[in-house]
Amino acid sequence: MSITAMTMKQMSYKNIASPKGFKATGIHCGIKHKKKDLALLVSEVPASVAGVFTTNAIKAAPLLVTKDVVYQTGKMQAIIINSGNANACTGKQGMADAYTMQKLTAEKLGIDRNLVGVASTGVIGEIMNMEPLTKGIQQLDPIGELEGAIGFSQAIMTTDTVTKNTSHQTIIDGKEVIIAGTAKGSGMIEPNMATMLGFITTDANIESNHLQTALKSITDITFNSITVDGDTSTNDMVIVMANGLAENKTLTPDHPDWGNFIQTLHAVAQDLAKMIAKDGEGATKLIEVEVKGAISDAEARKIAKTVVGSPLVKTAVFGNDANWGRIIAAVGYSGATLDPNAITIHIGVTKVVESAEPVPFSEEDLLVYLKQPEVKIFVDIHQGNGQGTAWGCDLTYDYVQINATYRS
């Protein structure tokens, strides 16, 4: 079912506490020197929960704790997040510390510990300093106001330069339903997932199994379609909580408004994914690669991610260089099925390649275009009806500087 302007719209007050019954906060507890580093998201009632997690074989302790909540409990009422320390590759002590964070948060809120998720982001391989966390959890006071949501989004940041928030609303069974999200992510972004934490809230009434179906249906075309540097982290997750307080009839794939819900969830996820790509470490430009004519949508996404992830394409965009040879080379090594003599490429509205041969174009016009903060590349391989889009960013001197001194 398509979404019309009447059934879905973006909200001007974009924050994770917008859906009914959600509260949030973020404070400085002392893991970091000055910036906020401890965040809490709470639902008034236990919420249905769904999650997607990193494919890295090395998984951080808090991620393992949260996976158990998602897949074994199927309900979540709160999630506690710290930044500044990933609590990854920290062995038995790391697991004990993640469970302690879960336990202390549950006691603070007066809820079952199995309803509490845990997330951490920051430096890998350092034992968590639990003293500031223990004190900080006692100081958390989540609120349903914008101030709490802003604090939450600030406290989960690491090398991010901006907070990442969005919110959309739709109509289900005549009821207003809000879906909102907050994310962090700037480096080690090669999802399936990456150093990315995403938290999505909704007051929709939906069971966990159908919420998981909905999240999986949009993950490949949103969060798994961005890349910054090709590194896959140990801590990444996207969590969706649905507390049912909008009081619509229970959503299932057979519900007449299921399409409304899916497309609104997709809009929130795509907003967050693009914000992460745009805020890649040291980035100055968002790169969008749209591919059509592939033998399948999955093949089109593969080509798009390969192009947007190419270091040579990324550096060319940073240098405002219309070097389409790097683009067609990335298409060629993507592993997708293609005819090398049937490729068309546009940079912006300018055609630079037709049937794999150069087309005369104005270098001056493309120089002006490539200086814009968003650059779009279009590739048609003329093999089928598959379409896909991926997002990334340019590769700059600052990226090297940020990551050369990350632990300093």
222 and 270 in contact (C-beta within 8 Å)? yes
Main-chain dihedrals φ then ψ at residue 251, nearest 5 degrees:
-75, 135
Nearest CA-CA partner of 328 in 352, 349, 298: 352
Annotation says 134 is catalytic: no
Cα distances (Å, whole numbers) of residue 15 to 122, 143, 148: 23, 12, 9
* Annotated active-site residue in 105, 195, 227, 234: 195
Distance (Å, rounded) from C-alpha 340 to C-alpha 275? 33
Nearest CA-CA partner of 327 in 288, 275, 373, 384: 288
Nearest CA-CA partner of 392 in 236, 276, 244: 276
Question: Within 10 Å of residue 307's Cβ, how many Cβ atoms?
Answer: 27
Question: Within 10 Å of residue 340's Cβ, how many Cβ atoms?
Answer: 10
Nearest CA-CA partner of 386 in 299, 308, 305, 327: 299
- What b-and-e string marks burial along 19-29, b requiring 16 or more CB atoms within 10 Å of the CB? bbbbbbbbbbb
**From start to end of 155-285, where are the E strands?**
164-172, 175-185, 196-202, 237-242
Where is 115: in which H helix or E strand?
A: none
| Token representation of residue 5 | 């302007």
Read off the DSSP letter of residue 73.
Answer: I
| Token representation of residue 79 | 């999630």
Pairing of strands 164-172, 116-123: unpaired
| Token representation of residue 103 | 């336990």
DSSP 266-318: HHHHHHHHHHHHHT-TT---EEEEEEEEESSHHHHHHHHHHHHH-HHHHHHHH
Where is 110: in which H helix or E strand?
A: none
Nearest CA-CA partner of 18 in 263, 264, 196: 264
Catalytic positions, please?
Answer: 195
